[in-house]
């Protein structure tokens, strides 16, 4: 441990807490550091800093004393300005996360994430700055590998789809020239539409541009539930449907993966547009209920046949009323999968006003966020979600 100067008595308790923190922090392999805010000098830096950065704690101390530019400048800079802004009432300076790169003496660049927080003394003054330095090399390598994998999938799927697309265009042209019967031409058209849809999904989710966009910015993990519903309303109106919209008293934000919930809601809307007569109205609503929110969409179609109600969320299943309509039986399955990963539930209920009503329940408690990273199968989340939302039913009940 480095002790460079006497520490004022008013800061002793805060520094004792800080040193307890570093002991816990180093269990995960991160580099812990403690700076004395009065002097700006290190009280402690983990010994493994040399292995990661190629510079020892003495090098860091020297740069702090001399305030010199160099490879450690980003690691050492900014404390005086931060303390000044905090003293002026800027609460955002209490905990700060930064990302940058440090060049080692051997020329290799190490990507770092630094998370630091101010430890306050009894009078509320900043006594110490404690933090973690994390090596982001492994995370970057994983992100690069994910992009490469997505690019490979894009290529492997696009090649046969392009072949199918070209072949079906030739078949359509041949059928038109030969005056083929209408059912044959309709089958060709369905193949062409399905192919276009799959190619569009590749562009939306697996294109190199999409992967690059994901890598450039931190993705949001909250969204306004009202905004989600307003987007559904806008999409429905673009499709030529009148919409009744009611969403009162919803929470300002819902912890989730926004793109995933947008996809689930779009799939539910697509289902409603497909199975209800053109130009008939839709009802979109949202209410707080049972420790969460319920987002619902009701159409004025024929509804779900009773014999299909238990199976419409199964992978690849198409109900009796789907005959002659486009689709692959995956939309509702995908929608429910997304909802269940979020710790929620999705059900279809018969509406007293007619048609089918899809109800999506999502938890709003912060602890439910652990479900976002669940690597369990979808069915594992279903009973838990139903227990939290007893008013809802799931297929099979």
pLDDT of residue 372: 39
Q: What is the reported pTM?
A: 0.43
pLDDT of residue 377: 38
Q: What is the pLDDT along the chain (397 residues), one digit of tens a residue?
A: 444 445 455 455 555 555 666 666 666 678 888 888 888 888 888 888 888 888 887 887 777 777 666 667 777 678 888 888 888 877 778 888 888 888 888 888 999 998 888 888 877 888 888 888 888 888 888 877 777 777 777 777 878 888 888 888 888 888 777 788 888 888 888 888 888 888 877 777 666 666 555 545 555 678 899 999 999 999 999 889 999 999 988 998 888 888 889 989 998 998 888 888 889 999 999 999 878 999 999 998 887 777 777 777 887 666 556 555 555 567 788 888 888 888 889 988 877 777 888 999 999 854 433 333 333 334 334 444 444 444 443 333 3
pLDDT of residue 214: 53
Kind of pairing between the strands at 292-298 and 254-255 = unpaired
pLDDT of residue 91: 77
């Amino acid at each position: 441990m480095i002790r460079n100067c006497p520490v004022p008595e008013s800061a002793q308790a805060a520094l004792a807490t800080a040193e307890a923190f570093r002991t816990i922090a180093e269990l995960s392999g991160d580099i812990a550091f403690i700076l004395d805010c009065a002097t700006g000098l290190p009280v402690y830096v983990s010994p493994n800093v040399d292995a990661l950065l190629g510079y020892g704690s003495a090098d860091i101390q020297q740069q702090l004393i001399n305030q010199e530019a160099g490879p450690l400048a980003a690691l050492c800079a900014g404390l005086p300005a931060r303390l000044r802004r905090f003293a002026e009432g800027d609460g955002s300076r209490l905990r700060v996360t930064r990302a940058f790169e440090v060049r080692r003496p051997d020329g290799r660049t190490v990507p770092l994430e630094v998370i630091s927080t101010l430890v306050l003394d009894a009078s509320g003054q900043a006594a110490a700055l404690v933090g973690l330095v994390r090596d982001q090399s492994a995370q970057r390598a994983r992100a690069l590998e994910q992009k490469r994998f997505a690019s490979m999938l894009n290529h492997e799927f696009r090649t046969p789809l392009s072949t199918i697309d070209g072949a079906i265009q030739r078949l359509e042209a041949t059928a038109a020239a030969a005056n083929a019967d209408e059912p044959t031409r309709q089958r060709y058209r369905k193949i062409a539409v399905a192919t276009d849809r799959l190619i569009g999904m590749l562009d939306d989710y697996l294109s190199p541009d999409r992967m690059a966009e994901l890598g450039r910015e931190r993705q949001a993990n909250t969204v306004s539930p009202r905004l989600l519903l307003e987007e559904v309303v806008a999409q429905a109106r673009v499709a030529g449907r009148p919409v009744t919209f009611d969403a009162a008293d919803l929470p300002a934000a819902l912890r989730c993966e926004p793109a995933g919930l947008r996809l689930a809601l779009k799939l539910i809307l697509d289902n409603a547009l497909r199975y209800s007569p053109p130009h008939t109205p839709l009802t979109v609503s949202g209410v707080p209920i049972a420790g969460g929110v319920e987002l619902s969409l009701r159409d004025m179609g024929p509804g779900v046949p009773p014999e299909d109600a238990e199976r419409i969320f199964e992978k690849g299943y198409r109900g009796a009323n789907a005959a002659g309509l486009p689709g692959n039986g995956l939309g509702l399955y995908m929608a429910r999968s997304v909802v269940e990963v979020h710790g929620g539930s999705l059900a279809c209920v018969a509406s007293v006003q007619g048609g089918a009503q899809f109800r999506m329940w999502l938890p709003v408690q912060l602890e439910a966020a652990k479900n976002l990273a669940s690597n369990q199968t979808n069915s594992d989340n279903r009973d838990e979600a139903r227990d939290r939302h007893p008013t809802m039913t799931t297929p099979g009940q």
